[in-house]
Amino acid sequence: MSFSIERYKEESKKVDTTGVAWDEITSSRLSNGDLFCLHYMMDIENHVPLYLSHLLVTRACMDPILTAFLACWNYEELWHGENLGRFLNLYGIHFDAQERIANVRANLGFSNSASILATMTGSWMLKDFSAVYLSIGAINELTTLTGYGALIRKSGHPVLKDLLSRIVKDERRHFAFYFNSAREWLTDNRKAQRVDRWMLDRVWKPVGQGVKKQEEVDALALYLFDDAEGEADLASIDEKIGKLPGLAGIKLLSKSLQEARGRARQNPAWASRLIDNEEWAVKPPRKSPIGGMTTRRLSSDQVMGLAPDGDPARAR
Ligand SMILES: [Fe+2]
Ligand SMILES: [Fe+2]
């Protein structure tokens, strides 16, 4: 698996959706589990700029190759979120994507700022911070593309399959960058390997945890991976990550599935109730209204200069 940053910079672009049969989305049905996963995935794709804000204050970003990658990566991830939102809207689920993103962010509250400070401090204290960050990047990208593959399989929705397969191609390139960069950092560096292993065993969390609650993370994991094929998918992630120097035998994803199953055994309604009750809407925060933090004091139609019925001539 090779990766050239020069080639990536030249070729990076928004995911090409030419020819996606958007008008056939409603011809096939999606289950509640599919819809739950799609909302989760869209929210996490849309969270990338805030994740980036954590990275840009770390020592890892002294590396111009990494910042060049992040500049392109952030743009590509933006279009993943945009297209998942478009898909859901066309399926018939009505929400204002920008309003939803603002609500997800506002609900993080002070914990987001505290987390930026902790990441920044940790990175400057830890010489091999980049090894940890790059390994986590590789795990996250590989988990994401594996999750999309599982959702394609579960849903059997032809248009979703087409869209997600295009997104997966981007995720593969992201994984290649992180994996190769982590391997470069870890090769012949015993100290970095020890730090990486120690940190992954203690601080790693599945993609989306923190933005999403534990029960939501479990609902996604159990819906997508709680069968033989899903288990094999997760074992294959562990196996690939275990090829990084110092990480042989690591079992993060398989362990995480076991823990989710354990919580569901203790409380049979755990996780599945979120899917059964269609709990994918995001409520605005009770304190600190969105308008206080963003320019979104007007409805999106007013911001765009449209009258409520969509007629620009009748705006204002
Ligand atoms: Fe993505
Ligand atoms: Fe990605």
Pick from 262-271, 296-305, 307-316 the range whose average pLDDT is largest. Answer: 262-271
Mean pLDDT score of the chain? 92
SS3 of the chain: helix, strand, coil, percent, to 5: 70, 0, 30
Ligand 2: distance of its center to the CA of 145 in Å? Answer: 8
Kind and range of the H or E element at 54? helix 48-55
Ligand 1: distance of its center to the CA of 42 in Å? Answer: 9
Ligand 1: distance of its center to the CA of 179 in Å? Answer: 16
Ligand 1: distance of its center to the CA of 45 in Å? Answer: 5
Ligand 2: distance of its center to the CA of 269 in Å? Answer: 32
Give per-residue pLDDT as tens, 175-196. 999 999 999 999 999 999 999 9
Please state the rounded mean pLDDT for residues 18-45. 98
d(CA 33, CA 154): 9
Ligand 2: distance of its center to the CA of 77 in Å? Answer: 6
Please state the rounded mean pLDDT for residues 13-32. 98
**Nearest ligand by distance to the CA of 148:** 1
pLDDT greater than 90 at residue 296:
no
Ligand 1: distance of its center to the CA of 80 in Å? Answer: 5
254, two tokens: 């398989």
d(CA 117, CA 123): 10
Ligand 1: distance of its center to the CA of 51 in Å? Answer: 12
Ligand 2: distance of its center to the CA of 140 in Å? Answer: 8
Cβ neighbours of 49 (radius 10 Å): 13
- 35 contacts 278 by C-beta, under 8 angstroms: yes
Ligand 2: distance of its center to the CA of 170 in Å? Answer: 6
What was the pLDDT predicted at 316? Answer: 34
Ligand 1: distance of its center to the CA of 305 in Å? Answer: 31
Q: Is the pTM of this model over 0.85?
A: yes
Ligand 1: distance of its center to the CA of 316 in Å? Answer: 37
Give per-residue pLDDT as tens, 202-227. 999 999 999 999 999 999 999 999 99
**Nearest ligand by distance to the CA of 173:** 2
Kind and range of the H or E element at 121? helix 110-125
309, two tokens: 């019925």
Name the DSSP letter for residue 209.
B
Q: Collect residues with CB below 5 Å from ion ligand 1.
A: 45, 77, 80
pLDDT greater than 50 at residue 63:
yes
21-37 as b/e: b if 16+ CB within 10 A: eeeebeeeebebbbbbb
